Each structure stands twice: as structure tokens, then as C-alpha cells.
């Protein structure tokens, strides 16, 4: 997966990453709010559980978003797909070749 991506795939990737990030964080923020407002947990448990979840998500965000370059695009997409950052439908705009590579690598 170290081949240089097609220009069209690279353009789609650059355009979509901010949208995917916001969608992903919107969902994760809701999950964190649910932890912080869970009446079945003490305030201390709410705090520490939310902190743990935020740290886990920060690691995922770092893995998926830090160091975007054309040469690392395939790897970032693989990580995003594996972490649930993007779904099958998000890959539909990309070339058939890239989709096949990602899907084959993630099995």
C-alpha cells in the first residue's frame, strides 16, 4: 500500500477528511456526554470513565489524522476504516482499485 495514490483519490481524501472528522467527533462527543450524565454512575466514575474514553478517542484521532501526506494516504484510510472513522459508503467516491486494496487489507 505504499504506491502513490491517484490524483483523483488524493483530492477526494483531502476534501473528505474534515467532514469525516466532524461526523466522527459529533458521535463520540455524544457518547462522552452520555458517560458524564449516566445516573447509574457516581460523579467520580462519570469523570474517570469520560477521561478514559476521551484518551482512547484522542489516540484514534492521532492515528487517523496526524501526518496526512500523499504517501501515507492509503495507511490513513486503512486506519480510519479499521477504527470505524469511515464506513463502506465513504469509500464509494474513491477509485475501484483503492477500494479493493482497502477492503482486502482490512480482512
pLDDT digits (tens, 9 = 90+) for 5-20: 899 999 999 999 999 9
Domain membership flag for residue 90: yes
Split into its structural domains, the chain has a count of: 1
Could you tell me if residue 65 is inside a domain?
A: yes
Question: Residue 2: inside a domain, yes or no?
Answer: no
Range of the domain at 33: 7-105
75 lies in some domain: yes
For 73-85, the pLDDT digits (tens) are 999 999 999 999 9
Judge if pTM exceeds 0.85: yes
Contact 94, 12 (CB under 8 A): yes
Query: Of 71, 70, 90, which Cα lies nearest the Cα of 80?
Result: 90
In a domain, 1, yes or no: no
Tell me which of 1-15, 46-60, 68-82 is least confident: 1-15
Amino acid at each position: 500500500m505504499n504506491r502513490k495514490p491517484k490524483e483523483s483519490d488524493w483530492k477526494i481524501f483531502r476534501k473528505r477528511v474534515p467532514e469525516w472528522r466532524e461526523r466522527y467527533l459529533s458521535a463520540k462527543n455524544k457518547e462522552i456526554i452520555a458517560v458524564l450524565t449516566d445516573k447509574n454512575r457516581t460523579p467520580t466514575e462519570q469523570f474517570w470513565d469520560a477521561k478514559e474514553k476521551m484518551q482512547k478517542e484522542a489516540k484514534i484521532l492521532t492515528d487517523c489524522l496526524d501526518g496526512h501526506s500523499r504517501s501515507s494516504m492509503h495507511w490513513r484510510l486503512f486506519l480510519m476504516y479499521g477504527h470505524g472513522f469511515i464506513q463502506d459508503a465513504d469509500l464509494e467516491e474513491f477509485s475501484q482499485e483503492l477500494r479493493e486494496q482497502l477492503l482486502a487489507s482490512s480482512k
